[in-house]
Chains A and B, each alone.
Chain A
């Protein structure tokens, strides 16, 4: 099994530690993982803002880089969802769409990790990112009457010493939404502050989630409100101490 690691542009530039943790974790689990150099952005920010056409070049480039892997794994639900759901309509004979998995899905559904993972003796509140919940099915959406599950929780529970909680309104949006944060600054900031307050109300020391863009919004909101709560991507917690 050959796995290509996809590190989205903003993770590459702003959260390299999330990329490093992904590599460490996958290697620890014995996965043959390659990071193809020369990757940039999947095109999602432009497309969500209304410029999907500009994403087409990037989709082609992505297909070239990753077309030959068995799986393309990324520590980002929104980019994974974009590749999986939008690429088939952007480029002909798209191969990567079906192979693209968020790292939580890959660990939970493909590797079926049962293992002990890292150690993280803290109370951690799960941030269920919208695209994880409603596009990739990482957890049961609160709107639906289906059996309850949460793949992020399942994985976190393999970490030693951890105390996992979820906030009230467990899958309400954090208000980031890419270009939304710029166009609708007031609403976006309010959503961020509301969300981080609910995380903080659980008594958690950390918020964790499958998407650094949500976590970026949440840490900005924590700072705005002067809340003492930190954000860490779920792979960092799973890999902690390995």
Chain B
């Protein structure tokens, strides 16, 4: 009864040294996050407030989207609406090709990943350069992110050193010193920034009251991507809109503390209009399933997510199986849920990756009931035709035995609970006691 996730996790765990390193690395991020949360007396109130702001905005999303796009247009920004990934990619390509763009520099965006924009543009002759260091590394390696905040965390400095040598980015073979490698990456990216025809960002937040796109980075690469080329495109999912600066202040205090355990990202950049007279700024608002999820009361709260990544860092299963053990491109508790919303049929093999320990829900800065949602997805599996037959048989057997006292007595009395308790559960040394409690207590009462 193995699932997609359980099979990949098993092979991930074969390398004990690496998997221990992986677990410890993410646990240390969780600890940094704890230290930050402990310094704010109002942390739990902030979580509650953040959750409510998101719920409020989501339930008035039509109004806030209109306000946002209206204000952006007042600022001279061209606003586009994309119903799905295909339309999004077409819009981006349309803007770029009408400006004769050959090279696009971009900062990190899970949305462009979701829409598989890079391969789409590359197939049409546009070079796309990721400028977040982690994203750049995995782009050069031809990989996908293994974590939403730290996309290349699965690689060590030797992996990166060798990659940079092969790609001609570093000029001292064998020098894998992280500071040196970072310096060389910066030099090489500088050339890309200077020669790019357009810059693209994702968005952490869109402010309805002002039309601002807010991007949080540690490397300043979103600013470089947008302050050199004259053409800027920002891609934003519908659910990223929040009402105003007062609400931004709440999220801004939580996002980075929760995600990386820093009090704030190094850069919090607001983009409101084209950077110069003859420049252009475009915002593309992307639905791609979000309005359907919003209409689904059982799962709409997933849209509260601010993509901080802390549910991954705390998840004991993620830490011991790695980002590539999940079939959806976003792993961990939030990824299990987003994958199911995207395509339940395709991604139900991730549902097993949860013990229902609920650490994710307790960590989540916007209080999403992540485990609760996983539980409810499991209930709908048989309806989807993807449930596990042997698991169902076992569950049927249990329910038969438990519903019939005679059978239950026979099972427990004849020491044949083995019929209902799978062998795998039995610790080596566990022996069946001579009598179950319900018989002992009868004798005791006599």
On whether the beta carbons of A186 and B6 are closer than 8 Å, the reply is yes
Q: Which residues of B contact A53 (CB under 8 A)?
A: 379
Residues of A contacting B: mostly: helix
On whether the beta carbons of B436 and A182 are closer than 8 Å, the reply is no
- For residue A23, which residue of chain B has the nearest CB? B441
Distance A23 CA – B233 CA, assembled complex (angstroms): 69
If A130-B355, A173-B357, A219-B430 touch, whether A187 touches B9 (CB-CB below 8 Å) is: yes
> In the complex, which of the residues B1, B37, B43, B441 contacts A182, with contact meaning CB atoms closer than 8 Å?
B1
Give residues in A with beta carbon < 8 Å to B: 7, 9-20, 23, 35, 37-41, 43, 45-55, 57-58, 61, 130-131, 134-135, 141-146, 169, 171-173, 175-177, 179-188, 190-191, 194, 216-217, 219-220, 223-224
Distance A41 CA – B403 CA, assembled complex (angstroms): 8
Give residues in B with beta carbon < 8 Å to A: 1-3, 5-6, 9-10, 13, 19, 23, 27, 34, 37-38, 40-41, 43-44, 314, 316-317, 320-321, 351-359, 361-363, 375, 378-379, 381-382, 387-388, 391-392, 394-396, 398-399, 401-403, 405, 408, 411-412, 417, 421-422, 424-430, 432-433, 435-438, 440-442, 444
- For residue B423, which residue of chain A has the nearest CB? A182
Distance A162 CA – B409 CA, assembled complex (angstroms): 38
On whether the beta carbons of B6 and A169 are closer than 8 Å, the reply is no
> In the complex, which of the residues B357, B375, B411, B437 contacts A20, with contact meaning CB atoms closer than 8 Å?
B437
If A40-B408, A50-B378 touch, whether A173 touches B359 (CB-CB below 8 Å) is: yes
- B443 vs chain A, min Cβ distance (A): 11
Some 16 contacts from A to B, beta carbons below 8 A apart, are A15-B433, A20-B444, A40-B403, A41-B398, A41-B402, A47-B379, A49-B378, A49-B391, A51-B382, A54-B395, A130-B355, A177-B354, A184-B353, A187-B10, A194-B23, A219-B430
Q: Which residues of A contact B352 (CB under 8 A)?
A: 180, 183-184
Distance A219 CA – B430 CA, assembled complex (angstroms): 9
Q: Which residues of B contact A224 (CB under 8 A)?
A: 428
Q: Which residues of A contact B44 (CB under 8 A)?
A: 144-146
Distance A223 CA – B378 CA, assembled complex (angstroms): 32
> In the complex, which of the residues B23, B356, B359 contacts A177, with contact meaning CB atoms closer than 8 Å?
B356
Q: Which residues of B contact A54 (CB under 8 A)?
A: 395-396, 398-399
On whether the beta carbons of A51 and B395 are closer than 8 Å, the reply is yes
- B437 vs chain A, min Cβ distance (A): 4
Distance A219 CA – B440 CA, assembled complex (angstroms): 24
Distance A190 CA – B430 CA, assembled complex (angstroms): 19
On whether the beta carbons of A183 and B399 are closer than 8 Å, the reply is no
Beyond the given A10-B421, A187-B6, please list 11 additional residue pairs across the A-B interface where CB-CB is below 8 A. Answer: A11-B437, A13-B437, A45-B395, A49-B391, A55-B399, A134-B362, A144-B362, A145-B43, A145-B44, A186-B6, A186-B10
- B428 vs chain A, min Cβ distance (A): 5
Q: Which residues of B contact A41 (CB under 8 A)?
A: 398, 402
On whether the beta carbons of A187 and B442 are closer than 8 Å, the reply is no
> In the complex, which of the residues B357, B403, B430 contacts A58, with contact meaning CB atoms closer than 8 Å?
B403
Distance A219 CA – B436 CA, assembled complex (angstroms): 20
Q: Which residues of A contact B405 (CB under 8 A)?
A: 38, 40
Q: Which residues of B contact A16 (CB under 8 A)?
A: 433, 435-437, 440
Distance A39 CA – B442 CA, assembled complex (angstroms): 13
Task: Kindly list the 4 A-B residue pairs having the minimum CB-CB distance in the complex, ordered from nearest.
Answer: A220-B427, A177-B355, A50-B378, A19-B437
On whether the beta carbons of A169 and B440 are closer than 8 Å, the reply is no
- For residue A130, which residue of chain B has the nearest CB? B357
Q: Which residues of B contact A190 (CB under 8 A)?
A: 13, 19, 320
If A16-B433, A184-B9, A187-B320 touch, whether A130 touches B356 (CB-CB below 8 Å) is: yes
On whether the beta carbons of B424 and A130 are closer than 8 Å, the reply is no
- B215 vs chain A, min Cβ distance (A): 27
Distance A53 CA – B395 CA, assembled complex (angstroms): 11
On whether the beta carbons of B34 and A40 are closer than 8 Å, the reply is no
On whether the beta carbons of A183 and B378 are closer than 8 Å, the reply is no
- For residue B425, which residue of chain A has the nearest CB? A181
Q: Which residues of B contact A217 (CB under 8 A)?
A: 427
Distance A175 CA – B316 CA, assembled complex (angstroms): 8
- For residue B387, which residue of chain A has the nearest CB? A50
Q: Which residues of B contact A219 (CB under 8 A)?
A: 427, 429-430
On whether the beta carbons of A183 and B391 are closer than 8 Å, the reply is yes
- For residue B316, which residue of chain A has the nearest CB? A173
Q: Which residues of A contact B13 (CB under 8 A)?
A: 186-187, 190
On whether the beta carbons of A13 and B436 are closer than 8 Å, the reply is yes
